[in-house]
Amino acid sequence: MNSFYYIRYSLVLEAMIYLDRFIDYLNYERNYSSKTVKAYRNDIEQFFQDMCFNSEECSLKELNVYNVRSWMVSLMDQGYSTASVKRKLSSLRVFSRYLLKIGEIKSDKLKLVEGPKSGKNLPEFIQAKDMDKLLEGEFFEKNFEGFRDKLMIDMFYSTGIRLAELVGLNDSDVDLVSRQIKVLGKGNKERVIPFGSSLADSICEYLKERNTSIENRSGAFFIRSNGLRVYRNLVYKSVQSSLSTISTLVKCSPHVLRHSFATNMLNNGADLQVIKEILGHTSLSATEVYTHTTFKELKKVYNQAHPRA
């Protein structure tokens, strides 16, 4: 091994010693999950191996801003996604803060490094007329599973709830008198969502068929033929199968129905703050993405309708 590669190899070993201590810190002091710790290790090992064998400057105590930026560019050139590069940078930043904490470096230079910018994809949604076609047509069998699958579609679209929230619904969460459902959202936060007469009719149809067809039932609202609660994959496949009959979207998922709920509410004059509360978003910025979707739709209509568009 010539002197150049020997020096580089020694520097990698030095970095790995500190990396092992860092991993112990994540495991035993920060109690990170094994999956997260593994990701940190892989990202940091990759950085030091790439940097120490391709850069003239290579020192653990000099996490060079230029080297980090150059590494990010090389990753993008290799086809890594923006999200992956940003995650790898995040791993390096945490490692740099650890080295500062234990006194191995004098300043955290990586806080000066910005990750690559990523444009947000606008959420896809299904037009109201297509949803009406699905829910008012003859797409579902007139049996227990047919009524159940139709109601799941209707509830996603009429309330904007998440997949996990729908699966977790119990009979006690659905109030037909007050026309509202209680859901347990992210962070175990409860919220109450109102619904209209159309969904109420669908709920009554389903409950009548369910209670007649299935004798031994759990307390779950949406159940299988054996009386037990539905599971995520069953719901996902049911929604995907139903939506594919009226939509050409590549991904026909429950989340598309959530997007459709929010977008069509906004298109019909609903206040953004109200939509935020119904969706269970913690900040308004998460809801504001639907304003871009609406503008995109308005622009499309304008370009089609105006003679001088």
Annotated catalytic residue within 93, 109, 229, 281: 281
Q: Which residue has the tokens 């994959």?
A: 233
Q: Is 255 a catalytic residue?
A: yes
Q: What is the largest CA-CA distance in the chain?
A: 82
Kindly tell me the burial class for residue 141, based on how many C-beta atoms sit within 10 Å of its own C-beta (0-12, 13-18, 19 or more): exposed
Annotated catalytic residue within 186, 208, 251, 300: 186
Closest to 88 measured CA to CA, from 108, 60, 68: 68
Q: Is 8 a catalytic residue?
A: no
Annotated catalytic residue within 86, 93, 162, 229: 162
Q: Is 290 a catalytic residue?
A: yes
Amino acid identity for residue 23 in this structure: I
Annotated catalytic residue within 148, 258, 259, 276: 258
Q: Is 258 a catalytic residue?
A: yes
What whole-number distance in Å separates Cα of residue 165 and Cα of residue 144?
A: 21
What is the arrangement of strands in the sheet containing 190-194, beginning at the earlier edge strand?
Answer: 174-175, 180-184, 190-194
What are residue 182's phi and psi, to 5 degrees?
A: -110, 125
Q: Is 259 a catalytic residue?
A: no
**Are 221 and 170 spatial neighbours (Cβ–Cβ below 8 Å)?**
yes
**Are 39 and 91 spatial neighbours (Cβ–Cβ below 8 Å)?**
yes
**Are 123 and 259 spatial neighbours (Cβ–Cβ below 8 Å)?**
yes
Q: At what angle do helices 144-159 and 254-267 cross, to 10 degrees?
A: 50
**Are 118 and 86 spatial neighbours (Cβ–Cβ below 8 Å)?**
yes
Q: Is 186 a catalytic residue?
A: yes
Residues annotated as catalytic are: 162, 186, 255, 258, 281, 290
